[in-house]
């Protein structure tokens, strides 16, 4: 039996996501990326709140670190707009269990946000193990994850120096929780309770989530398909902003394979639920993403050079690819 301390569900109609020329770094971006994200604004956060969130019922009291929105029946987006990454974790409810897909930055206590939303037994699973998606893992007892060397490394935690950039000046604009200390912030270790792999099905009772391993953004990137409700939780494999194929651990080649695979799901999915910025985008982006990668592969897409990498702009998103042709060695 589930207890929802909410007043009701909102039927959500999604407007097309406007093209956003922004940078969403994973890991430690240089200061210039923070500055540039604001475009013509004085600060990147001057562009907040993003208008897309006004389509959803908001459930929290607006005083804390997290913002909570009901984005689909039984699906809560737990959003952290106070830090540059604008990370989104998702609480997905079944009838007998709940799954928390990602646990955020670790700046606020996400377990305290989840507790009033459900009393069901809870499982954590991460879309991938970049620091900004595993920050609250240590607060939970049951954590599923892939049997992947990258995951295992990240589960051992990262020291302060490795993640200090994420809480540096210019990265956080909201008041942080009183027990948060930027000078000691680190990525806390955690233990995987149970492995999941390709085609694993996580049955929440009345809701089945299928695991799709989709490396590219990170070696352990995965998506969750809720076939009955026509939802695809995509983590950082797609969001309406620059997609990263050029950072440590990412793979352009793997990303192409994953994008092509996800495009085949477009007919059976209505919405994607991304790991950053906005909580729901149309599934047409699956096809657009695959087409974009194909155009890059065919050498027919235009790009600009940013920080020595190629940035290809498409309708509503871009793709950053390592290096430039001048870097190529015959």
Stretch near Zn ion under the rule CB under 5 A, chosen from 4-12, 23-31, 159-167, 313-321: 23-31
Least separation in angstroms between CB 317 and Zn ion: 15
Mention every residue, 6+ apart, whose C-beta is less than 8 A from residue 6. Answer: 57, 59, 70, 117
Least separation in angstroms between CB 202 and Zn ion: 21
276 lies in the binding site for Zn ion (CB under 5 A): no
User: Can you tell me the distance from the alpha carbon of 70 to that of 132, in angstroms, rounded to the nearest whole number?
Assistant: 21
Asked if residues 174 and 65 have their Cβ atoms less than 8 Å apart, the reply is: yes
Phi, psi for residue 33 in degrees, rounded to 5: -65, -35
236 lies in the binding site for Zn ion (CB under 5 A): yes
Q: Where are the beta strands (DSSP E) in 81-220?
A: 87-93, 98-101, 122-125, 143-146, 194-196, 201-203, 208-213
Least separation in angstroms between CB 76 and Zn ion: 21
Least separation in angstroms between CB 320 and Zn ion: 13
Least separation in angstroms between CB 24 and Zn ion: 9
Stretch near Zn ion under the rule CB under 5 A, chosen from 171-179, 192-200, 234-242, 296-304: 234-242
Least separation in angstroms between CB 89 and Zn ion: 13
Number of residues located near Zn ion, criterion CB under 5 A: 3
What residues from 126 to 155 belong to the interface with Zn ion (CB under 5 A)? 130
The interface mask with Zn ion, positions 162-201, x = CB under 5 A, is: ----------------------------------------
Stretch near Zn ion under the rule CB under 5 A, chosen from 112-120, 151-159, 228-236, 259-267: 228-236
37 lies in the binding site for Zn ion (CB under 5 A): no
Stretch near Zn ion under the rule CB under 5 A, chosen from 22-30, 44-52, 60-68, 97-105: 22-30
User: Can you tell me the distance from the alpha carbon of 200 to that of 27, in angstroms, rounded to the nearest whole number?
Assistant: 28
Least separation in angstroms between CB 259 and Zn ion: 16
Question: Edge-to-edge strands of the sheet including 222-226?
Answer: 201-203, 208-213, 222-226, 231-235, 271-274, 281-282
Stretch near Zn ion under the rule CB under 5 A, chosen from 21-29, 84-92, 112-120, 294-302: 21-29
- What is the torsional sign of CA 214, 165, 278, 3? positive
- Of 98 and 124, which has the nearer Cβ to Zn ion? 124
26 lies in the binding site for Zn ion (CB under 5 A): yes
Exposure b/e, 44-66, CB count within 10 A at least 16 = b: bbeeeebebbebbeebbeeebbb
Asked if residues 226 and 208 have their Cβ atoms less than 8 Å apart, the reply is: yes
In this structure, what token pair is assigned to residue 36?
A: 């540039």
- Maximum C-alpha span of the chain: 63
- Of 117 and 223, which has the nearer Cβ to Zn ion? 223
Phi, psi for residue 241 in degrees, rounded to 5: -165, -175
Question: Edge-to-edge strands of the sheet including 303-306?
Answer: 242-244, 317-321, 309-314, 303-306
Stretch near Zn ion under the rule CB under 5 A, chosen from 170-178, 232-240, 282-290, 303-311: 232-240
Least separation in angstroms between CB 220 and Zn ion: 10
| Residues lying near Zn ion in the complex (CB under 5 A) | 26, 130, 236
């Amino acid at each position: 039996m589930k207890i929802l301390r909410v007043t009701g569900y909102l039927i959500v109609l999604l407007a097309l996501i406007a093209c956003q020329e922004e940078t969403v770094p994973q890991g430690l971006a240089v200061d210039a990326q923070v500055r540039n994200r604001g475009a013509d604004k004085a600060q990147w956060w001057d562009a907040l709140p993003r208008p897309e969130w006004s389509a959803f019922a908001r459930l929290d009291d607006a005083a804390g670190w997290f913002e909570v929105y009901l984005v689909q029946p039984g699906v809560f987006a737990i959003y952290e707009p106070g830090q540059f990454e604008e990370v989104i974790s998702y609480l997905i409810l079944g009838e007998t269990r709940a799954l928390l897909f990602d646990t955020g930055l670790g700046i606020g206590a996400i377990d305290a946000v989840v507790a009033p939303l459900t009393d069901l037994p809870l499982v954590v699973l991460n879309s991938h193990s970049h620091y900004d998606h595993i920050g609250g893992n240590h607060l939970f007892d049951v954590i599923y994850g892939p049997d992947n060397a990258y995951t295992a490394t990240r589960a051992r935690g990262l020291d302060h120096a490795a993640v200090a950039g994420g809480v540096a000046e210019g990265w956080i604009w909201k008041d942080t929780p009183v027990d948060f200390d930027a000078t000691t912030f680190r990525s806390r270790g955690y233990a995987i309770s149970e492995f999941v792999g390709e085609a694993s099905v996580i049955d929440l009772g009345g809701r089945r989530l299928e695991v799709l391993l989709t490396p590219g953004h990170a070696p352990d990137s995965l998506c969750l398909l809720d076939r009955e409700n026509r939802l695809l939780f995509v983590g950082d494999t797609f969001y309406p902003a620059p997609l990263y194929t050029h950072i440590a651990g990412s793979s352009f080649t793997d990303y192409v394979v994953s994008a092509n695979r996800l495009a085949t799901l477009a007919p059976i999915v209505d919405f994607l639920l991304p790991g950053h910025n906005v909580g729901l985008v149309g599934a047409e982006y699956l096809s657009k993403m695959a087409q974009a990668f194909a155009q890059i592969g065919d050498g027919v897409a235009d790009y600009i050079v940013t920080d020595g990498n190629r940035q290809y702009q498409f309708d509503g998103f871009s793709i950053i690819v390592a290096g430039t042709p001048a870097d190529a060695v015959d």
